[in-house]
Amino acid sequence: MSQTQPPALQLERISRRFGSHAVLSDITLSVPPGRITCLLGESGCGKSTLLRLIAGIDRPDGGTIDLGGRRIVGPGRFTEPEARRIGFMFQDYALFPHLSVEENLAFGLQKLSRDAQRACTAEIAQRIGITHLLGRYPHSLSGGEQQRTALARALAPQPEILLMDEPFSNLDQGLRERVRRETLEILRQLGTTAILVTHDPQEALAVGDLIVLMRQGRIEQVGTPFDIYDRPHSSYAAEFMGPCNRLAGIWHQGQIETPIGRFATDLCLPDGTAALACIRPQALSIAPDGGGISARIVSKTFLGESEQIEISVHPLFEPLRMHSHERIPMAVGDKVGLLLNGAQIHVFEQSQAE
């Protein structure tokens, strides 16, 4: 985003309380135009509440919201949802069952003439690839067809921003991946600014140009998928984005000393500081020549494209988990040599690790 180009959406110190419970606290966020931003977090972290505040379905208790450089929420200012030019695609799609697909698409175009409505619905149906569905009703559509219809209806009024609340969660795994891929292609072709809510880190990594990881009503970290996965700011972020082996250690002369070895990172801590190493399962591998750290295989789980292996290493109480895309010929109970790839080891100060 250039310095002269304003963000598509700017949130400043947004807060929301329900009774004594702070659902959102001090949320400040810039959403880049023409990109897909993912709000990621576990259930109850506030991501769907934040989406409703942006849409105008709910009002914040404090803070401001600017859309395309104009203030829509702030002290003495609240722009009604219908005047915001924000599209909203609900988790259950919320298609009107008594209206045809064409009538659903035209629902947000009531201010246009009948001819203009028909032209708009025909254009968006052609772009989304649902022209053949225009005369049908929601009950006769498959899950993927309902999802595409809901997407077309949200895009028909040409919103400045499209909000999507868990839009693929109602689809089974195979269909979910295909529909998600098709949806992303459409949004990128149209240059749509979109904010998508998900609880699935793998979906966020696959979808988002920008990921906003939320935790207990606050933003834990903001970054690109590579930033947030490869350079997590906290042990929470590291473990939320993917499984980790946790090893306690002591920081000494630029390295963390653990029971199974010393690892260098770019972290800077005083010598003697208690630290925590989060080691990705893919950072572990079996030494082909039996070298490395002495270990023993305690379990193997075949996952199709990969194998999950648990390895016991003295003096650790808990086995280490590793993932391998290669077939490991050793059996449960066999002794092996374990190697570690330091690039997938994240170190944090123990007092800040939760």
Assign residue 145 the CATH number of its domain: 3.40.50.300
C-alpha 56/C-alpha 39 separation (Å) is: 17
C-alpha 6/C-alpha 70 separation (Å) is: 10
Contacts for 104 with CB less than 8 Å, ≥ 6 apart: 95, 96, 138, 149, 153
- pLDDT number for residue 327: 84
Q: Residue 22 CB: number of other CB atoms within 10 A?
A: 16
Pick from 301, 308, 313, 307: nearest CA to 339: 313
Tell me: do 297 and 331 sit in the same domain.
yes
C-alpha 26/C-alpha 11 separation (Å) is: 9
Inter-residue contact 84 to 55 (CB < 8 Å): yes
Q: What is the DSSP letter of 350?
A: G
Residue 78, helix vs strand vs coil: strand
- pLDDT number for residue 4: 60
Strand 274-279 to 284-286 pairing = unpaired
C-alpha 71/C-alpha 90 separation (Å) is: 25
Give a yes or no: residue 2 inside a domain.
no
Token duo for residue 244: 């980790």
- pLDDT number for residue 2: 45
Residue 81, helix vs strand vs coil: helix
Q: What is the mean pLDDT of the chain?
A: 92
In this prediction the pTM is: 0.91
Averaged over successive runs of 10 residues, the pLDDT of the chain (354 residues) comes to 75 96 97 97 95 96 96 95 92 91 93 92 94 96 92 94 92 86 92 96 96 97 96 94 94 89 84 92 86 92 90 93 87 91 83 64
Report how many domains make up the chain: 2
* Among 237, 265, 287, residue at a domain's last position: 237
Tell me: do 24 and 65 sit in the same domain.
yes
Give a yes or no: residue 206 inside a domain.
yes
Residue 173 phi/psi, 5-degree rounding, is -55, -50
Domain span at residue 72? 9-237
Cα 65–Cα 217–Cα 225 angle in degrees, nearest 5: 80
Q: Residue 83 corresponds to which amino acid?
A: A
- pLDDT number for residue 324: 87
* Among 212, 237, 262, residue at a domain's last position: 237
Tell me: do 25 and 152 sit in the same domain.
yes
The predicted-structure confidence for 254-283, as pLDDT tens digits, reads as follows: 889 998 888 888 788 889 999 999 999 988
Give a yes or no: residue 289 inside a domain.
yes
Token duo for residue 176: 């979910």
- pLDDT number for residue 91: 83
